[in-house]
Amino acid sequence: MKNLRRLFLSFLILSFCIFNFLQAQDQQGFINLDCGLEANESPYTEPTTKLTFTSDSDFIKTGKSGRIQNVPGLDYIRPYTVLRYFPDGVRNCYTLSVVQDTNYLIVAMFTYGNYDNLDTPPKFDLYLGPNIWTTVDLQRKVNGTREELIHISRSTSLQVCLVKTGTTTPVISALELRPLRNDIYIPQSGSLKNRFRVYLTDSRDIVRLFLSFLILSFCIFNFLQAQDQQGFINLDCGLEANESPYTEPTTKLTFTSDSDFIKTGKSGRIQNVPGLDYIRPYTVLRYFPDGVRNCYTLSVVQDTNYLIVAMFTYGNYDNLDTPPKFDLYLGPNIWTTVDLQRKVNGTREELIHISRSTSLQVCLVKTGTTTPVISALELRPLRNDIYIPQSGSLKNRFRVYLTDSRDIVRYPLDVHDRLWSPFFMSEWKLLRTSLSINTSDDDYDIPEDVLVTAATPANVSLPLTISWNVETPSDLFYAYLHGAEIQSLRDNDTREFNITAGPNVSYGPVSPEELLVNTLYNTSPVKCDGGACHLQLIRTLNSTLPPLLNAIEAFVVVEFPQSETNTDDVVAIKSIETSYGLSRISWQGDPCVPQQFLWDGLTCEYTNITTPPRILSLDLSSSEITGIIVPEIQNLTQLKKLDLSNNNLTGGVPEFLAKMKSLLVINLSGNNLSGSVPQALLDKVKKGLMLKSSLTLNKLVYNNSIQGNPNLCSSSSCNKKKNRTMLPVIASLASLGIIISVTTLLFVCMKRGTSIGKGFSPSQPSIETKKRRYTYTEVLAMTNNLERVLGKGGFGMVYHGYINGNEEVAVKLLSLSSAQGYKEFKTEVELLLRVYHTNLVSLVGYCDEKDHLALIYQYMANGDLKQHLSGSSTMSWVDRLNIAIDAALEIITNKPVIDQTRQKPHIAEWVKFMLTRGDINNVMDPKLKGVYDSGSAWKALELAMTCVFPSSLERPNMSHVVHELKECLISENKRTRDINATSSLDINLSFGSDVNPKAR
């Protein structure tokens, strides 16, 4: 206010400027728009001013043309006789091309003239870009009004917007721009709105170069601080996008809808509460019936000090009379608990926090059965050298100014929009001044309205004491005391006092300076004993006057120890999310932390709480994604596993996958990829990369992860396809070779026919692949002549063995007495050669030599699934679901497939019988002891039953099975998260009526 007064006074004593007519008359750089003028009537020269006006049709896309009625006694020049009105939309904008960093005089002319025969003059707001310029009130200025602004352009375009604020329709008659010299009309900050421009004469002529109209002296229109709300973010949560933006009339703050800052939630409106009059942003809200964590993402400037404000009202918007209680997080760390069951009229949460990155996430986390809500979310940048704790961030405990007034002081009086509540005690004496307070030397920009009153003890011999309760014994506090001497002191008067906060904290002596504000604060946090803090201002022996205080703020330290996920990983995963159009409710907030909110499909590496987590695996299988394998994946530089299976991806396999040094497993099966696998990727397979594919090359099997991509091939198989078109002579030679081969084969078969006996029929077609084939001699060598027997099954005996010297294997030899024949053996080999899965034993090789048939598997040193299910330890339902997603087995019941002692011997028939009786408890493995989500269990059982339908048409495909099992897993994970959440520490440090400081 002091600066405004000084600038106002300085403008009153300015001499009037000498105008350069030559520059004006050539209209160099002038823009003169006759708003509403038809294009075919443009341009024209206005005869009085000689200015050339053009239609505005090329500068705005909306609005309609109108013409004012004749007004007796008023003779408007031509540009003001037509107008453009805007019956549609809330904000309608002109876009003008300008020269960046140029000083401009911007003129907007408004007349109503009852153009619509409704006798309803409008009132609306005028914006310059995103900032409010002024309010146009044609209800008060019935003959029209002219708005002038001198402003330096920030870019090469300028937008002038008319914003509807009520039921009337905005109008505009003319819009004009004139470039000025860059060394004139330059304020210390902001822009200049014309108050009046006159020349002292008894003439009645208007001298128009920059055209004066009505008004009184220049006033400051501060675009860089208060009025333009530079850097402010004001979100009206739940506001419909078509009602945005608007200017809140009390604070003059411009609020916008939150719809662009969050993907979830629904809009609600509070009911009227007798005795309470909420400002507009707090009358609507956004509530979150779905998901556990719902997050706002705000763009900020890294390493900047911000005041973050979140406002919560319930107002029985849902007619349930059930106020919610939930947690509020800043990024991955808890900020506070919002308890609207205790603070029924609403609560305001404030935090001063230095941003760690270019984005800030504010998350509402459901902790019980009630639904989180939020009314408004606001950010204000602060100076980086104020409100700085030794560590952590500052949560507002209270902010008061000592007065008997009932007015709350905030923006625009406080340029940072801090909310100052009035506070006064009966044992105090009130001081007040009408003089101006000097705030120029104070870095905290304390509003002068806060400083013109102060309190002293009514009993001059007593200290001035302010007390407040402590929420938890470990709370650490900072207090900021703002004081200025506002009493006229006599020559022999002295005001001097010490400040104490407990037995170990003291400062002084302090003597406030006359009409000059000074801010005092503790540089180290203070811990209060006995459940309360007591701040005392104690008069010294040399003082003739009692202590004095104007205003005080108190903050509690909030530590945010958990590091956010690595910034590069966050940018990469969000780019992947955008590229594929993913819409997963869990994909909000930080991807990796806190761990109970880990995004579905991710696993992360956690070193310690201060080291940013890294994303290690990405599973987007069965996610219905389309398009190519996006290059943003390569920016996940620590990725070890990538699963894109069972989608509809097209294009080729990108070579960048081979350049990802940490990548160990890639699954691309079940897509529509085409072309050849890059040779660099095939080379990495030879070095240990697991590229799951059905392609066979150099005895390496890229099993099932590229299966289902019919147009995808390895480099060698692609070459074979290219060579299919051959010259006729080559085809003839090939045909001849085939005839000779077939004849030879028949001859050999006839020779062997008499010696086959009971052995396996050689007439069966041979196994397609010749890869990983061992001779019977090699089988005997690897098993040390069948020395160690592991077991026996329907196939035959199983032996222990070694290959490559140290790799353990299990060798199954087909017995001549086995019920299985060569056909079954061939089918099993070809199936296992194609299948790879982490939860299925892999086929190492086979033997197909006359009467000797063998299958060679990985050796399971830790036993198979059956042994784990029936062992002493219990496999949890989550673990079983994870295995089922990967390779569904009899893991639900832990019962054998055939049991003759059951009423229904076959497990499928028995489960069906039990389910028809509604008996799920006896179906589930009793070792689980009921520790599972019943909905998840029912879904898994019903899914299992559909998989054993006799008809293949009734059975689900594997993509559907995997999807349903993932849904089961999500339900079970949610159950465990809810259990963990309900046991979390319940704290509330919010600002309400009960935390006002007390005097004693």
Q: Is 26 exposed, middle or buried (0-12, 13-18, 19+ CB in 10 A)?
A: exposed
Question: Cβ(196)–Cβ(217) under 8 Å?
Answer: yes
Q: Which residue has the tokens 């190492």?
A: 844
Under a CB-based contact definition with an 8 Å cutoff, are residues 374 and 286 in contact?
Answer: yes
d(CA 485, CA 511): 8
**Residues 278, 282: Cα–Cα separation, whole Å:** 6
What CA–CA distance (Å, rounded) separates 194 from 537?
Answer: 47
Closest by CA to 197, choosing from 188, 181, 189, 209, is 209
Give, for 880, the enclosing helix (H) or strand (E).
helix 877-887
- Site of tokens 């990829």: 673
Q: Which of 692, 651, 643 is nearest to 675 (CA)?
A: 651
Give yes or no for a contact between 293 and 597, defined as CB atoms under 8 angstroms apart.
yes
State both tokens at 364: 């509402």
Strands 665-667 and 690-692: parallel
CA-CA distance, 888 to 730, in Å (whole number)? 50
Task: For 510, list phi and psi in degrees, rounded to 5.
Answer: -120, 135
Q: Is 164 annotated as a binding residue?
A: no
DSSP, residue by residue, 655-698: THHHH-TT--EEE--SS--EEE--HHHHHHHHTT-EEE-SEEET
Smallest CA-to-CA distance from 467 within 425, 415, 524, 516 is with 425
Three-state SS string over 580-643 comes to HCCCCCCCCCCCCCCHHHCCCCEEEECCCCCCCCEEEEEECCCCCCEECCCHHHHHCCCCCEEE
Report the first-to-last Cα separation within the chain, whole angstroms: 34
Distance CA 626, CA 288 (A): 29
d(CA 269, CA 92): 27
3-state secondary structure of 441: coil
Cα separation, 639 vs 363, whole angstroms? 27
**Neighbour-count burial of 696, counting CB atoms closer than 10 A to its CB (0-12 exposed, 13-18 middle, 19+ buried):** buried
How is the beta sheet containing 293-299 ordered, strand by strand? 293-299, 359-366, 325-330, 333-339
The torsion region of residue 779 among left (phi > 0), alpha (psi -120 to 50) and beta comes to alpha
Sequence-distant (≥ 6) Cβ neighbours of residue 980 within 8 angstroms? 596
Please state, in angstroms and rounded to a whole number, the distance separating the CA atoms of residues 629 and 637: 16
Binding residues for ATP are 812
Q: Residues comprising the binding site?
A: 812
